[in-house]
Structure 1
């Protein structure tokens, strides 16, 4: 769960989760005995370009972004709610003044931890995200680490699938190196 520089493509870190939530779906938990998997899917996305205002300091490095993974949708209990489970790998590469940094988020797990029907047309979803990230400098050495788990709480409008509210309710339990500070230092900015 790396810290993301403002003004770049870092919103992608939660894009599969956010895309599913925006579509009116919820994210998954470990399958109990009465769970039924109703769909399996693959995730594959790539993007490249120039970041705007990288880390809020006005830099515009070129970037590539690649996401691969898979997930499944399942029902639990009475089967009225959809739960999701995803395992993804993200690789983000930034190049500035001939120096490249690569941020690797391997085997990130995103899943529903708890879903509550609020009885007012909204759901409260607690999602668990866990994994380990490493940022590698031009010399091949690790310049930042970011691993552990984070829990997010979303309030979702059932009728539209819109996320009404989002908050982090449990911060990272692991290493929390500052991505921007490490990259800017590596680039000598």
Structure 2
């Protein structure tokens, strides 16, 4: 799964929105609770993309996601670890046809390093599968595999309290995609257009 591919980026966006929700919920949770958060929820979104894949094509996008978030403290006084399981189905409807994308992703913190300056570097593993299907149900693009990447986070006053954490920067891929990475736009534009 390539972190730079459109298929993977949509999955990460879902996981990031889930993380934002978790952070807002965590503000009221005591720092000593184990796990800090264990929630499941569904999300739905619909919008019109007037420049789909940068091709000037207008496409209706309808998505549903099932998200499971686990935020767990491994030891007192240490940063809690985050894990999100996301299953998303998205239907793209263009003037020429319809395609459906099914994404299943797990994003989880592998290692958290306190940088000693009020920030922490988090090594994240993103693994899963994305597949795009035409109207007959035939797979036209796939993106399985995994990547690992690092992010920089300001942890505020207390590394063990995630309620005031602030994302600072995406530090880049540590390990690139281990799987095939089909070009989403190249696969769907001939059908949708």
What secondary structure does 1:57 align onto?
coil
* Cα 1:139/1:183, change in 2 over 3 Å: same
- Measured against aligned partners, the alpha-carbon deviations of 1:67-106 in whole angstroms (never above 9, x if no partner) come to 1021211111344211111211011110111511011013
From 52, 64, 69, give the equivalent of 1:71: 69
Task: Give the Cα–Cα distance (whole angstroms) in 2 for the partners of residues 173 and 153 of structure 1.
Answer: 17
Map of 1:36-75 to 2, 5 A cutoff?
36-75=34-73
Unaligned 5+ segments in structure 2 are 24-33, 157-163
In the superposition, the TM-score normalised over structure 1's length comes to 0.81
4+ residue runs over 3 A deviation? 19-25
Task: Give the Cα–Cα distance (whole angstroms) in 2 for the partners of residues 96 and 23 of structure 1.
Answer: 31
In the superposition, the TM-score normalised over structure 2's length comes to 0.80
Q: Which residue of 2 aligns with 1:149?
A: 146
What secondary structure does 1:15 align onto?
helix
From 151, 164, 178, give the equivalent of 2:168: 164
* Cα 1:94/1:53, change in 2 over 3 Å: same
More helix per residue:
2
CA RMSD of aligned residues (A): 2.3
Equivalenced residue count is 173
Q: Residue 21 of structure 1 contacts residue 163 of structure 1 at CA under 8 Å; is this kept in 2?
A: no
From 122, 125, 129, give the equivalent of 1:125: 122
